[in-house]
Amino acid sequence: MNIKMKIRLGFVSNSSSSSFVCWGIPIENIPVSNGNWLEEYRKLIEYREKCISEYKSSENPKDTWVTRQYNNATALLEKTRNLHTEEEKINFIKNYFDNDVREIIHSDDLNIGGNNDGEGIYIGLTPDALCDKYPNIKFGEVKSFVAQKINESFGTNFVGKDIVYTEQGWYDG
């Protein structure tokens, strides 16, 4: 009898876990205008209000995922109810990230991801996006290439040494 065993190194995903891997920079290093942050805040609130409205008006059975989305939207609107000034709203959205709200990046090349639990939000290129879109980029050129893409999108002047590699994993419970 011949028995083989496969070993997987790295993060193993299932339906209750998430991960984000990229070469990039922390979002706080990107110069984003207050107007863009306020637009992100407006879009977030609008999206969550739409989730609540659709949930309440739907006659379809409400599965666990849909109910969780509704509960998350309700909790978010409760948190933001007392944010009145532009500064309060900007500070909130700078520290909030959601996979459904990514309009800060206006690029088909870059990815945004991470988490707010200490590891941070990053903008950059994921390994799969890099391999799919730019298969001819050599490994030694990755950081400089990512810096170039970020600079094209944001008018910045990052160089390869500014780019970091991040691996994040978390359980969404």
Write the CA distances from 44 to 47, 76, 97, 127, 135, integer angstroms: 5, 9, 10, 28, 34
Q: How many domains does the chain have?
A: 1
12 belongs to a structural domain: no
Top-confidence residue, 110 or 85: 85
149 belongs to a structural domain: yes
2 belongs to a structural domain: no
131 belongs to a structural domain: yes
119 belongs to a structural domain: yes
Top-confidence residue, 148 or 27: 148
pLDDT tens-digit series, residues 40-71:
889 889 989 998 998 888 887 777 878 888 99
Give yes or no for residue 27 having a pLDDT over 50.
Answer: yes
Confidence at 16, pLDDT banded by 50, 70, 90: very low
65 belongs to a structural domain: yes
Give yes or no for residue 89 having a pLDDT over 80.
Answer: yes
CB 83 within 8 A of CB 92: yes
Average pLDDT, the chain: 80
At 125, the amino acid letter reads L
Rounded percentage of the chain residues whose pLDDT exceeds 90: 27
Q: Which residue range is the domain that position 162 belongs to?
A: 19-171
Confidence at 6, pLDDT banded by 50, 70, 90: very low
4 belongs to a structural domain: no
